[in-house]
Amino acid sequence: MATTNLSYYDKTTIPNAKDLRFGIVVSEWNETITEGLYKGAFDTLIDCGALSENIIRYNVPGSFELIFGCKKMLGTQNIDAVIAIGCVIQGETKHFDFVCKGVTQGIKDLNIKYDVPTIYCVLTDNTMQQSVDRSGGKLGNKGVESAVTAIKMTRL
């Protein structure tokens, strides 16, 4: 991953998103990181043809709450894909492990339950610098990669 630029994509290989509707659920925890990820995802969807009025955003307090936010979005909005944006950084306790596992499992469960893809855009880094590097820093932006994934998954 350290050699991959998360922001690179070849637009000729991505379907046009003009007629698609997207949901983006954003964690407010580690806001400087999640806002960078959101900007990357939003700008990429627009660059690939999505209309801004067809991109719906929900905010949730933390990454663990992404699951409920995405479930609510999937149950109440007419969308073609939802992107879950969060950031969990390793601390001194096991909390990191529980949150990461719960969020990963929850998003997997949403993909099984609903016929609309839920895209995992949750950074689970050891340090704040690693998160900075992956949210618009030297490694690009995972939000960009997630938007491309969302568009491609709508075509399955």
Distances, alpha carbon 9 to alpha carbons 39, 52, 155, in Å: 16, 20, 17
Mark whether 95 is an active-site residue.
yes
| From 19, 31, 32, 95, active-site residue | 95
* 113 burial type by CB count under 10 A (0-12 exposed, 13-18 middle, 19+ buried): exposed
- Active-site residues: which are they? 95
